[in-house]
Chain A
């Protein structure tokens, strides 16, 4: 079992990840990661050439690796995150260790103790799954996990309410250096042609607004989030005479991360990675329960 280096954790940044919620895995063992990697590799090869058997452990075009990322968890009681990567060996020079990373997936559970404590021992709770790469590989890896550990993957979508929470929380995070603008994208319903409204705010201005709204540092209430959003909406209305509150918030991007309501996310700052994962874990758990 390979332990991670900080590079692996950093590999989560600046990539577009699709979000899934995963029900608890049955009879999963963190000690057998190498074995799982071999089996997954053989399964992928067998799926690719339907009908042809593939020996497990034989050199394959696509190699799977499992490694654990212990630093990606909220506390002692969390299950350490697990990273699954599929890399292809270039067929030109097989001896060359230059492998191209084709697909990666990450199972994690950050501050999910309330959920994982109520579950019997045979089950492992890793409710959040991030996938980056071709959809076909996501499907193959997902079906292998579903068949082997009797879990169930469900696409996780983020509601506009949660997106507004993310906007408020991430605006309040302090970022050094030049940060990119806070951008909110709204989609307007019921029009013959789809219309998207993009609303960009200078990060310092947004932070200043949030600081006036937030009363207790470290605590955020629903009223504060609503007030923050209302301020932004009224500002927009004053200039453009459009009521953004009637539209649907579909995307939020700040210097910390950017999230889309389809269930995709991009991490931009390693400092706040765990925080964002904690929020996403909470969303995943609420979908499972």
Chain B
């Protein structure tokens, strides 16, 4: 029996302040005080305690400790007073750890009537923690059954409610068998099951206990609490018991917190530091069978721990005893800090497909380079995509929504991992020839952006072919979506290339699969492909501005490849893109084009300089043809915008050259000076604005005023 030492040591000077605000820290030995908890202005940093209240509590506890004869509540006023004290202390600030021993003994020893015991148990609210030693003695009282059945029940409920506040649980685990024996009692059985559920560890699962539970099940039928406990046993030792939970059941145990619920939340709030909340093991939530027709199809898999790992340990019983670190089951993984703590003995899920919806496991996959994990996921995803593809498989168009969601999830995972899956790539190659361009459109286009970059690429036949077919025969919006996703594909490739360069700067440049020239070829192939389809698309759509925007957006990425992404590649836009942009009717395209030409110049100049500076033979020498092409474009542009003689100078076969006779026929006066930036239809609006601002009164728009 521990006497409170702290109260004697840290005597506070008496102050007549009837305050209800008390300092929890004063209960602790040494009387550490927390200035944050003092809520009123005091002269001293130590907050005050209501001395009289504390004294009366001490008296109450000592009374309970010393009382010998059973006393009836109604007749004894002293008892009533002390009981009231205990209750009020409990409600206000909670009981100190030392008090539990005394009060539990009193409540469970049957000295008083049930009414007293009930009130005592209901007021056993801890201020901080509950010492385990007090529990051990109270459990022995429980076994002796001196108190009535309802009190025993209330005690078990109290244990469940206060489970998180018990400081150590080693002895409780040792007493597992005692708790187990209480399963016999029908009334106590549900609550004892709940308590055992909280206490069970792998060592607690023994065959004789399973047999006992099965006998109980045979006697009582299917009870949710038994089901829950047996499921937990199955989770730890699947080689001893098997159970399939029916349907979706969320609650297996009745909530036993009731009388203490408000108090517990108050304690948690007061304690401010993260109160220990035991992670309940999520029993395998029944898999949502939305489709009854196929048993082997499940798009969303719940993560459940691999049970095969346990199978290996059955034979090595010795190693079980000595192995200290048990593997951390994946169902308990809920926070990132848990992942970090347990990363070395994390039990991987039995079905790898479940990582797609589990961001923590994705983190794990990112760091740990384990081939079998990737392979398992690869097979599962490959088969699932192939089988569930709604446009490849007959009669599955009704499941389009589900497949769409699944593709969404795969795409999100790829974005998370910042790399594409090869099984996804193969799926695209296989299914694009059959795609109608309509089903799951945005998902498919987004998945396309994550096709991995490798020099052994079959993209030309498998991707470009079917895609071009769909592209030419589709609406303007589809064309723009395709161009956007091709642009993102290019950007992903270039980003990946930059990362590869940075990470492998020490080791040999590239892995066996990729060589720099191979990569350059693949990227060039993509750019040429986009150039070709853009040219045709502009013709088909009559140079629509919307389309031109996406095309020029693509070339904005292309023009900067050399400088920004360090890939030796310089490709000019085709004439079918350049000229429509130069002569477009809106200023946005013209602006974009000018910016692109400017960036091209910067890149070209830098490339030339590097060649000249290094003076050695570089792996990639840009042919002079590239420079010539650029110069031709630039001359046309300058001629068009400034010098008004684009029509004479431009020798490009698709260019602007026009004979003088034709120009004369246009009827434009002074045609030699009339076709420049001032008169450009795209910039008409700006010219007008300029005139308005410069000469506000002049209503005639004389453009020749602008020089």
Contacts and interface: CB of A to CB of B under 8 A. Distances in A.
Interface of A: 23-24, 26-27, 32, 35, 38-39, 42-43, 45-47, 50-58, 119-120, 122-123, 138-140, 142-143, 146-154, 287-288
B125 interface: no
B234 A146 contact: no
A46 B242 contact: yes
B242 A50 contact: no
Interface in B10-36: none
Contacts of A24: 375, 379
Contacts of B241: 42, 53-56
A139 B372 contact: no
Contact of B238 (A39, A47, A149): A39
A147 B351 contact: yes
A58 B222 CA distance: 19
Interface string B229-245: 01101100011111111
Summarize B's interface: helix, strand, loop or mixed: helix
Quick one: which of A140, A143, A147, A151 has the most chain B CB within 10 A?
Answer: A147
A35 B239 contact: yes
Nearest to B308: A27
B296 A146 contact: yes
Contact of A50 (B246, B307, B371, B387): B246
Contacts of B269: none
Contacts of A122: 372
Contacts of B247: 50
Contact of B350 (A35, A119, A148, A154): A148
Given A24-B379, A120-B375, A142 B308 contact: no
B440 interface: no
A178 B376 CA distance: 48
B214 interface: yes
A34 to B, nearest CB: 11
A140 B217 CA distance: 24
Ranked nearest first, the 3 interchain pairs of A and B with the lowest CB-CB distance are A139-B295, A42-B242, A23-B379
26 contacts: A26-B372, A32-B311, A43-B242, A46-B243, A51-B243, A52-B217, A52-B222, A53-B213, A53-B214, A53-B227, A53-B233, A53-B243, A54-B214, A54-B242, A56-B242, A119-B375, A120-B371, A139-B296, A146-B351, A148-B350, A150-B352, A153-B296, A287-B386, A288-B379, A288-B382, A288-B383
Interface residues of B, number: 44
Contacts, number: 114
Nearest to A119: B375
A46 B295 CA distance: 17
A269 B243 CA distance: 42
Contacts of A287: 386
Contacts of B386: 154, 287
Contacts of B306: 27
Contacts of B371: 120
A266 to B, nearest CB: 23
B380 interface: yes
B407 to A, nearest CB: 18
B206 interface: no
B383 A23 contact: yes
A240 B654 CA distance: 61
A143 B296 contact: yes
Nearest to B234: A53
A50 B245 contact: yes
B244 A50 contact: yes
Given A56-B242, A152-B383, 12 more contacts: A45-B242, A50-B244, A51-B245, A53-B227, A53-B230, A55-B240, A122-B372, A140-B295, A150-B352, A150-B380, A151-B379, A152-B379
A47 B245 CA distance: 8
A147 B242 contact: no
Given A35-B239, A123-B372, A53 B217 contact: yes
A52 B243 contact: yes
Contact of B242 (A53, A143, A153): A53
Given A119-B375, A120-B372, A55 B210 contact: yes
B534 interface: no
A53 B210 CA distance: 9
